[in-house]
Amino acid sequence: MSERAPRRYSDGTLTFEGGVDTGRSPSLLQPNQLAWAVNAVTRGGYVSPRPGFARVPMRSNSTNLDTGITIDSDIITIDSDIITIDADGDKAFTEGTFQCAAPYINDNGRPFVLFLVSGRVWLWDVVSQYIQQLTKDDVNPSILTQGWMCQAENYMVIQDGISKPFIYDGGSLRRAEPGEIQCGTVMRYVNGRIWYARPDGYSFRATDIVYGDGTRASVLKETENTFLNGGGDFSVPIDSGGITSMGVPAVLDNALGQGPLLVFTPKYIFSINAPVDRDVWQNLNYPIQAISQVGNGAMGDRSTISVNGDVFYRAQDGVRSFIVARRDFNSWGNTPISSEVKRVIDYDQTDLLKFGSAVMFDNRMLMTTQPLWSRYGVYHTGLVVLDVEPLANMRGKAPPAWDGVWTGLNIHQVLVSESTYGTRCFLFARDSENKLSIWEVRPDLIADYPLELTSEQVPINWELESRSYTFDGPFNKKRLSGGDIFVDDLQGEVAFDVDYKPDQYPAWVDWHGWSECATLTNCTETPCITINNRQPQYRTKMRFPTPADTCDSVLNAPYKDMFETQARIRVTGHCRIRNIRLHAQDVQERSVGECRTDSSCSSITVCDSALNHSSEG
């Protein structure tokens, strides 16, 4: 009696707009979802590498453009465009302890960034890229690891929780004077006042209203803080864990576009609904301070950001939305919005979450993850990314999707500068030589640039893990026989490496690797004469062969014999993956039962890290 030919099965993914989801088993994911992704984006329905990171030069503030050297006591040498600073025998900026940074917009709309590094204040011009130190002899303690900044009108207030605050007015830096804002930590400029937490961590207060005495400088003063029931210090309960952050949601159809101040603690979120006129505070028939959320508060200040009428923040159990947390308060489960990326954020060290940061840029939320302690300050080896515009047009919009994690730098802080010069996203990172450096997230770049845009580029290493394919027969044993992927937007040399994971095997099994090349540049040598209109290319149905006959020593069976399987595609270079398809053939099984016997103990050792891309090459 002849045997029938094995039946051929195919399964795969056509679109990826659902993003990644590590909160569920790969077997349970939707057809348009990925199990995981590193350095990838899914906007538009297909998968491509993240935007490029480009290092931004820091130039000395000098008119001598030949040497670029400023002769003062703080700056000694400069190597090309990267500054090397020596203050009192110590490299105060590049090798100092990073405490915080914040964007500053002066009165004519020019963007700057202020740094607090080892107790010294530095000003970096975003447009000209010149940097200068504002502090001279009067500096803050250099051993502190955290700082806070807040711009109110033309004033930037700089705190470290111990020292008298610095105040920068766009022209000079000074200490706060008697009668002005006092030492504190977390700050927000809300409804014409600076609200700030006191050093004890449990009390907070507000400065005078801006233009209260006819000048903008009144926002720095505290002359209204004369008696408690007329506007003294507020406080949070001792069991709250102390003030960790402040935030303010946007509100339409009011004078300032701001809602009530939200004061975050690890355990509670308080809402401060204070009238503009402090004289009426003591006569109100409603509480100025009210509890808006019980449980799941914020862990850090810089990772609390306003997103239109909502506030996103990092809680102990993940990323949370203030609106969603309030909505779910009356239900049994009040969960974070980040279970899709729990594969990485569940391993964040809790006591270092206060150093995290987050921004909204290019309709994506970027939030730091994987914090590590160092003598130069806490840095993070990745960014978790939430795309709020995976598919958007006038006919509809898909729900937000997580893009997984972006890697390549050791990031102290992520920051966005918004001005008439444009919106730009910067990463303040520690390079391979432990020097403080500035990088920019550039959606127009397809590679990383560790020096300048004219330098050699570093191709991005990125990867994706598919959902688990059952080939419409989860109970049928199959043999993996091949697969193919469809790509377009192929630019330059691109290397592919495909692995697979049978059933619930904890490691990836090597499958196949190859490379493709699509020449786009016109110049291969200097001088360049011929100009060709070269375009990105595509490759349809790039097939990979039947996997090798390697065996699982525990099951004593070939790895390629399985009931379901995942695919992992690692790419170096730029292209867009449109479709994935795997092929399998059925395997005839015994139709009678088997007698199971006791087996000896066995082990499987796996060492596989995806956070290994370096933007420096």
pLDDT tens digits for range 340-386:
999 999 999 999 999 999 999 999 999 999 999 999 999 999 999 99
pLDDT band at 223 (very low <50, low <70, confident <90, very high): confident
Higher pLDDT, 228 or 412: 412
Contact 210, 192 (CB under 8 A): yes
pLDDT value for 371: 97
Q: What is the mean pLDDT of residues 39-61?
A: 91
The 10s digit of each residue's pLDDT in 159-207 is: 999 999 999 999 999 999 999 999 999 999 998 999 999 999 999 999 9
Q: For residue 548, give the DSSP letter.
A: P
Residue 203, burial from CB neighbour count under 10 angstroms (0-12, 13-18, 19+): middle
Q: Using an 8 Å Cβ cutoff, are 233 and 196 in contact? A: no
Q: Any residues with CB less than 8 A from the CB of 67 and at least 6 apart, and which? A: 78
Q: What are phi and psi of 402, to 5 degrees?
A: -80, 135
End-to-end CA distance of the chain: 61
Neighbours of 277 (CB within 10 A): 11
Residue 591 pLDDT: 76
- Say if CB 405 and CB 611 are below 8 A apart: yes
Q: Give every CB contact of residue 353 below 8 A, 6+ residues apart in sequence.
A: 299, 300, 303, 314, 316, 371
Return all residues near 433 (Cβ < 8 A) that are at least 6 apart.
none
How far is Cα 484 from Cα 262, in angstroms, rounded to an integer? 51
Q: Phi/psi of residue 501, each to 5°?
A: -130, 110
Mean pLDDT of the chain, nearest integer: 87
- Decide the pairing of beta strands 48-49 and 40-41: antiparallel
Total H helices, total E strands in the chain? 2, 44
pLDDT attached to residue 451: 83
**Per CATH, domain 53-380 is 2.120.10:** yes
CA distance 250 to 57: 35
Reported confidence tier of residue 614, pLDDT bands at 50, 70, 90: confident
> Residue 330: its pLDDT value, please?
75
- Measure the CA angle with vertex 217, ends 215 and 220; round to 5°: 140
Residue 21's closest CA among 318, 338, 333? Answer: 338
Highest mean pLDDT out of 6-10, 324-328, 595-599: 6-10
Q: Report whether pLDDT(23) > 60.
A: yes
The strand pairing partners of 229, in sequence order, are: none
Whether pLDDT at 59 is above 90: no
Average pLDDT over residues 119-148: 94
Read off the pLDDT of each residue in 69-75 and give the average, rounded to a whole number. 39
What percentage of residues in the chain have a pLDDT greater than 90?
A: 66
Average pLDDT over residues 488-507: 95
Summarize pLDDT for 385-411 with one digit per residue, the tens: 999 987 667 677 778 999 999 999 999
pLDDT at 67: 31
Residue type, 4: R
**Highest mean pLDDT pick, 57-66, 318-327, 485-494:** 485-494
Question: HEC profile for 43-68?
Answer: HHHCEEECCEEEEECEEECCCCCCCC
Mean pLDDT in residue range 292-304: 91
77-103 residue pLDDT tens: 444 444 444 444 347 888 999 999 999
Cβ(554)–Cβ(469) under 8 Å?
no
Give the Cα separation of 537 and 486 in Å (integer): 12
Question: For the chain, what's the residue count?
Answer: 617
